[in-house]
Structure 1
Amino acid sequence: MDKGQHASRRAFLSQTGKFTAACAVIGMAGSRAQAAAVTASGPAGEAGATNLTDRHYYLVDVRLEEGFEREGETVIATRTGLYTLEIKDGKIAALHSQGATLADNLPRYQAHGQLMLPAMRDMHIHLDKTFYGGPWQAPRPRQGKTIMDMIALEEKLLPKLLPTSQQRAEGLIALLQSKGSTVARSHCNIDPVSGLKSLEHLQRALENHRSDFSCEIVAFPQHGLLHSKVEPLMREAMGMGVSYVGGLDPTNVDGAMEKSLDTMFQIALDTGKGVDIHLHETSPAGVAAINHMIGTVEKNAALKGKVTISHAFALTTLSPQALAETAARMAAQKITIASTVPIGSLMMPLPQLNEKGVFVMTGTDSVIDHWSPFGSGDMLEKANLYAQLYRGSDEFHLSRSLAIATGGVLPLDDKGERAWPKAGDDAAFSLVNASCSAEAVARMPARTATFRDGRMVYGSVGQA
């Protein structure tokens, strides 16, 4: 690592420390101030740029992966090189090797040899209800509490959260951008307490970030689709730009598995939307729900490729043969699994699902709310967790684990040939102080700059 990289990292850590101290003093008084603070951090160099809006420019000295180094059949290292990216109108127009002749009339920015990683994707988060951006508040004790108890608690909390829900959502967006994520899928409460107000506030927050963040919305009946009698509200939400119909534990919450799921799917079929359901149930009823959903998609071609099962903890209870059969059926219907890569007694069979062709993605779920205080908003952390739980600590499997954080985009394919970036790709990426993606997954370095559509939406780069 050269002196510029060391200086950049020290500057980033210094800025982060100042921000943390400031938050302690002001009590996290506002997420807009917080967003401004994180935007100012990043690699600071002597002539740093924190506002890069050029439509055509060069980004010099970007570290890209070129191939694997092997000892026999074993991958022991990753070979990288420095390149100049030519970025034009939101795309990577060209990759220029080091020393290539560059046009004199284009602005130049300096990456200082930092590694370029694909954009991260947080595909399961609740941007609409969070304690983030406010004073510290730990969740109430969960021991002995059922999901219905938690729903009752939420009914009391929502009126207190709604007045600031837009600002807090924007604070979470800024956090995700600081972690390299510019794409998300957010579940949004549709319930008798908040009605459609949570959705309206979330949409205003997303509109303010239309140019630097993209997000699909799932209409989520958190208090039960049938239990809270919100089918009319759900249908109304479908006409407000929502992409997915949500659902929740059809047996434990709604008490009628088939009726709950059939109602959810019917809304989707009637409106041409997708489905993304929270399924936490680990009892035989959870397995029955998964089979019912697969069967429904098998009977309705319009749903193929448009269904996500979030959490899907019931899969942990299946025998290897039953899991293989279920995964094969899911893959055939292009049903996706969204997992937070949980740790603890539930060991999700994510590699087995992948091996059968099931697309697996990950997300934050919660940064901090009345359910959990442990979220970081960092998809690279999820890749690290995945590597620890499933893939091993070697160079090859560390690098493969990055896929769960990026929607399957990897710098090198399994043979070690460059798959990303290529000319014509979207200019959506982050920069980190790491020698390769395996190191990035293992060590989780800070993102020093995040780009979307060629625009820097977080951090800073050098002014070449």
Structure 2
Amino acid sequence: MNQWLLNVRLETGEELHEDGSIRTKTNLFNIEIDDNGRIVQLKENDASFQPENAQDMQGQLALPAFKEMHNHLDKTYLSLPWKACRTVSGLEERLHLESLELSALAENCEQRASAMIEKILGFGSNHIRTHVNIDPYIGLKNLEGVLKALDKYKDYVIADVIAFPQHGLLRDDVPNLLREALRNGATMLGGLDPGGIDRNIEKSLHTTMGIAQEFNVDVDFHLHDNGHLGYYTIDKWLDMVEENDFKGKTDFSHSFSLGDVTVPEQIAMAQRLKKHNVAIMSTVPFNLGRNIPPIDLLTAHGVNVHFGCDGFYDSWSPYGSGDILQKVCTFADVTRKITERELRQSLAYITNGTTPLDNEGKIQWPQVGDEASFVFVASSCSAEVVARPTAKRLLMNKGVFFKQ
């Protein structure tokens, strides 16, 4: 039986005020959803319309469901007693400290991952891209725990599960462990600093490409390497993308090096990324005191950029909440997005590019036939949501509400 959502606030356009400012227009609608979780009708609200199987949304604003595009479900300490982090001298020491606790933590991975998924769903995301440690210390144990946790929430979330060589690709039997992970539930292949960690860029990249082609999966690289080391790594991989017809199957996470080079170099790389349909996954870590990728420049050149919260409350950091919307708010604040359009368009970084209105203020979402996946908030418009995120949100995934 189809269901109805009544009194849903949707954005319908823009209006120009006498002072020259643009304001967002909204109206109330009734939305019919079929048993497959698709929108079959959008009707302007009529108070006399009282169908069966209906829920009154009381004027809450509907937004596209959010996407958490860089996460580590297996690393969190959530559900365990409080524990702060130890200071380290660098990335390699942090990895060493992590390795010391991997075996113990693997035993409760499902429990911890479930707690993290609950947080993420509560903040409005119905898609999680999670990197999962595949390493000599625990093999596939974290993958098994994460897959069990995700299965419990399959009505509310879909996931990209990345086999991630957190402690290096070119060591022990890691390439074969990655192959086993891809045979046993992982859907993507990860990579980590071919220069800084593997210390052999070409061999690391060629090994990654070989496994990716063997299993016909996409690749998402963690790339922390700074300056021209990281820039060269991206450039070299794009050469291989051309040679191996791998267009549209790569994402680079972090990519701090793109913020370290000159603007002409940034533009040249943005053009290459766009040409090969390579996306950038950023955790917008302004607190690190380091350059992050030039997100506005990349966007202006047509590169897809997506945000993620990364890991939170784990051996790497005691901070973080899992609120992907707060990432957008921080980005918009730091980069001085203050107009209605600028704020509204910033939402695209956590919705896979979908915003209710396009750059000219015309309706582009939702449409009949779209997936009925929404975040409902008590706000006037998406610009207000970005600038002033509300704590209370309600997620619907394909016609099914998530209730904690």
TM-score (norm 1): 0.84
From the superposition, tell whether residues 156 and 338 of structure 1 become closer, same or farther in structure 2 (CA, over 3 Å).
same
The answer to whether the 8 A contact 1:67-1:417 is kept is yes
Distance 1:395 1:340 in 2: 24
- 1:111-151 CA deviation, whole Å, 9 max, x = no partner? 11111111000011001121112121111113xx2211111
RMSD across aligned positions (CA): 1.6
2:354 maps to 409
Distance 2:383 2:2 in 1: 31
Is 1:399 the counterpart of 2:355? The answer is no
Deviations 1:305-337 (Å, cap 9, x if unpaired)?
Answer: 010000001101121111111110111000110
CA contact (8 A) 2:227 2:261 kept: no
Q: Pick the aligned partner of 1:257 from 201, 208, 213.
A: 201
CA distance in 1, matches of 2:158, 2:256: 28
Alignment of 1:170-249 (within 5 A): 170-249=114-193
Aligned with residue 85 of structure 1, among 20, 26, 31: 31
Deviations 1:281-319 (A, max 9, x none): 104221111111111111111x21010000001101121
**1:157 match:** 101
SS state of the match for residue 132, structure 2? strand
Match of 1:121 among 67, 88, 91: 67
**1:420 alignment partner, SS class:** coil
Q: Is 1:148 matched with 2:148?
A: no
Structure 2 Cα separation of the partners of residues 191 and 312 of structure 1: 23
Cα distance in structure 2, aligned partners of 1:348 and 1:448: 30
Q: How much identity, in percent, do the aligned residues show?
A: 39
Q: Tell me, what secondary structure is at the counterpart of 2:252?
A: strand
Q: State the 1:159 CA deviation.
A: 1.5
In the alignment, structure 1 residue 133 sits paired with structure 2 residue 107: no
Aligned residues: 401
Q: Does 1:332 align with 2:275?
A: yes
Structure 2 CA distance for aligned equivalents of residues 309 and 410 of structure 1: 23
Deviation at 1:75, TM superposition (A): 4.4
- SS of 1:204 mapped into structure 2: helix
Per-residue deviation, residues 360-417 of structure 1 (Å, max 9, x unmatched): 0011111211111222111111111221133521111011111101111100011111
Counterpart amino acid of 1:331? K
The one-letter amino acid of 1:441's match is V
User: For residues 151 and 433 of structure 1, do their structure 2 counterparts lie closer, same or farther at Cα, with a shift above 3 Å needed?
Assistant: same
Q: Equivalent of 1:76, from 6, 22, 26?
A: 22
2: distance between equivalents of 1:91 and 1:419? 16
The residue aligned with 1:348 is: 293
The Cα of 1:261 is off from its aligned counterpart by 1.2
**What does residue 65 of structure 1 align with?**
11
Q: Name the counterpart of 1:9.
A: none
Aligned equivalents of 2:54, 2:276: Cα separation in 1: 47
Is residue 448 of structure 1 aligned with residue 393 of structure 2?
yes
Distance (whole Å) between structure 2 residues aligned to residue 340 and residue 73 of structure 1: 36
- Map of 2:45 onto structure 1: 98
Mapped to 2, the partners of 1:96 and 1:387 lie a distance apart of: 33
Cα deviation 1:163-187 (Å, max 9, x = unaligned): 1110111111111110000101110
Task: Kindly provide the CA deviation profile for residues 48-81 of structure 1, in whole angstroms up to 9, marking residues without a partner as x.
Answer: xxxxxxx521111111111112247954211111
Using the alignment, how far apart are the partners of 2:373 and 2:334 within structure 1?
28
Equivalent in 323, 336, 341 of residue 266 of structure 2: 323
Whole-Å Cα distance in 1 between the matches of residues 110 and 170 of structure 2?
27
Q: Partner amino acid for 2:45?
A: Q
For 2:353 and 2:64, how far apart are their aligned partners in 1? 10
Deviations 1:4-37 (A, max 9, x none): xxxxxxxxxxxxxxxxxxxxxxxxxxxxxxxxxx
Aligned with 1:357: secondary structure? Answer: coil
Question: What amino acid maps onto 1:238 in structure 2?
Answer: L
- Which consecutive residues of structure 1, in runs of 5 or more, have no partner in the other structure? 1-54, 460-464
- Once residues 58 and 50 of structure 2 are traced to their aligned partners in structure 1, the CA distance between those partners, rounded to angstroms, is 20
Name the amino acid aligned to 1:76: I
Q: TM-score, normalised by structure 2?
A: 0.96
Displacement, 1:358? 0.8
1:427 partnered with 2:377: no
- Which runs of structure 1 show a deviation greater than 6 angstroms over 4 or more consecutive aligned residues? none
Contact 2:253 2:280 in 1 (8 A): yes
Q: Which residue of 1 aligns with 2:308?
A: 363
User: Which residue number in structure 2 is paired with residue 304 of structure 1?
Assistant: 247
